[in-house]
Amino acid sequence: MNTTGKVVLSLFAGVLIGTAAGVLFAPKKGEETREDIKNKILELKGDVLDLIEKGEDIASEKIKEIKAKIASLEKDLKNAMPC
């Protein structure tokens, strides 16, 4: 796993732990707490989907860069080969 992936995963884990601790220690009724948990889960789900989409975009960009480098190397090799 690359550094960016580790940072994102650590950030997500920290948010999840912080949210859980905040909800569990809040002085609210059970029904309100369950509603808060549900809302936070839905919010986190949206955040995760956004991160996945962003990761897909980054991966797609990297693939394009790699393809361009390979094409350049192939061209250089063809030019360097005697006919």
pLDDT given for residue 1 in this prediction: 62
pLDDT exceeds 80 at position 17: yes
Domain spans in the chain, listed from the N-terminal domain onward: 3-80
The length of the chain is 83
The structure's pTM equals 0.47
pLDDT exceeds 70 at position 83: no
Report pLDDT digits (tens) over 23-82: 777 777 778 878 888 898 888 888 888 888 888 888 888 999 999 999 999 998 888 877
R_g of the chain computed on alpha carbons: 23
Give the whole-angstrom CA distance, residue 15 versus residue 50.
15
Q: In whole angstroms, how far apart are CA 55 and each of 17, 42, 49?
A: 22, 20, 10
20: which 2 tokens?
A: 């859980």
Q: In whole angstroms, how far apart are CA 64 and each of 28, 74, 78?
A: 51, 15, 21
pLDDT given for residue 3 in this prediction: 77
